[in-house]
């Protein structure tokens, strides 16, 4: 969802070319068909490719030689990644390393990694791999001068794939029940176009080595969101549409946060984009070689041991 919206908005700036890369052929086909109907696909190129394949990424980048790279490819469903930690590690971490190296090799000007609030003090495999993705980007930034590597961290995006809002809409339309994991659960929310506009702004602001966070406003209780959506349909919560609490799923938190206890934010030129700074007296960026050696040592661990190691690393 974020990748396709990035393409839509960037095409409005009349670039020479936008290359949309995804492992999902159906997603790319539907996206290209949608833009074709609007007469906006003449500058768009699509490519079915896997970010985990370093050779494929190198060939792709050598062919197109992009100036700016937005890396949004990731597995993001928390409970599923608890059961499939190897896929999370390979795509979210090694995929980031693969694309970052390919961007550097062709002299890309900027590389923007899409991160998440789940990378902050992560309680899940998915969050841990996104935290490691941030570390990979920081390590690349420390060793590569000609490409400005940066990461942008934000919370839930309404109407994106996997978002709770489309699920609630389907449940309400079918007559309920609406399922919520916990009555006190909260999340940060932002609309898809708004989030992408701010990501593009952050890309323009970076001088390399930055971690940005977007101003998401106040946390919203998921229960209140569900009740509001029910009422917008002219229905009554718990009368016309039942609400059922199912319990927290593996890896889920009641409340997410955009900063951990050792981080602080500072303003940038844009009022809704903040730079994240580590407050620890000595917080050196991990050497890329040391980080990749450790990652390669993990990828062949049994699934249960791999998941445990990821959680231990983040604590």
- Helix 95-105 to helix 54-64 angle, to the nearest 10 degrees? 30
- C-alpha span between 89 and 298 (Å, rounded): 9
Structure tokens at 22: 């995804």
Nearest to 150 by CA among 215, 73, 204: 204
C-alpha 40, offset from chain centre: 26
DSSP symbol at 249? P
Tokens 């961290």 map to which residue? 153
In sequence order, the β-bridge partners of residue 180 are: 245
What's the longest Cα–Cα distance across the chain?
60
118 is catalytic: yes
DSSP assigned state of 69? E
Q: Choosing from 16, 40, 63, 118, which is the catalytic residue? A: 118
For the annotated catalytic residues, the residue numbers are 118
């Amino acid at each position: 969802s974020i990748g396709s919206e990035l393409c839509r908005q960037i095409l409005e700036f009349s670039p020479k070319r936008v290359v949309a890369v995804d492992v999902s052929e159906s997603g790319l086909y539907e996206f290209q068909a949608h833009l074709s109907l609007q007469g906006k696909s003449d500058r768009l190129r699509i490519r079915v490719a896997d970010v985990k394949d370093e050779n494929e990424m190198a060939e792709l980048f050598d062919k197109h030689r992009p100036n700016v790279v937005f890396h949004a490819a990731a597995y993001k469903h928390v409970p599923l990644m608890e059961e499939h930690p190897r896929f999370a590690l390979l795509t979210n971490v090694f995929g980031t390393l693969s694309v970052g190296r390919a961007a550097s090799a062709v002299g890309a000007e900027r590389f923007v990694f899409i991160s998440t609030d789940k990378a902050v003090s992560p309680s899940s495999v998915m969050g841990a791999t996104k935290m490691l993705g941030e570390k990979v980007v920081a390590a690349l930034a420390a060793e590569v001068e000609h490409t400005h590597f940066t990461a942008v961290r934000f919370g839930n995006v309404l109407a994106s794939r996997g978002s709770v809002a489309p699920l609630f809409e389907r449940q309400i339309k079918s007559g309920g029940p609406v399922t919520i994991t916990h009555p006190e659960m909260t999340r940060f929310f932002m609309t898809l176009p708004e989030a992408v506009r701010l990501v593009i702004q952050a890309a323009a602001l970076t001088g390399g080595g930055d971690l940005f966070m977007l101003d998401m406003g106040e946390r919203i209780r998921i229960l209140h969101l569900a009740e509001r959506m029910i009422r917008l349909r002219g229905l009554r919560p718990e009368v016309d549409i039942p609400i059922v609490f199912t319990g927290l799923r593996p890896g889920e938190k009641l409340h997410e946060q955009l900063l951990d206890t050792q981080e602080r934010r500072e303003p940038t030129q844009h009022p809704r984009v903040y730079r994240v700074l580590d407050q620890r007296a000595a917080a050196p960026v991990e050497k890329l070689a040391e980080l990749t050696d450790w990652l390669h040592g993990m990828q062949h661990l049994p699934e249960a041991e791999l998941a445990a190691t990821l959680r231990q690393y983040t604590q």
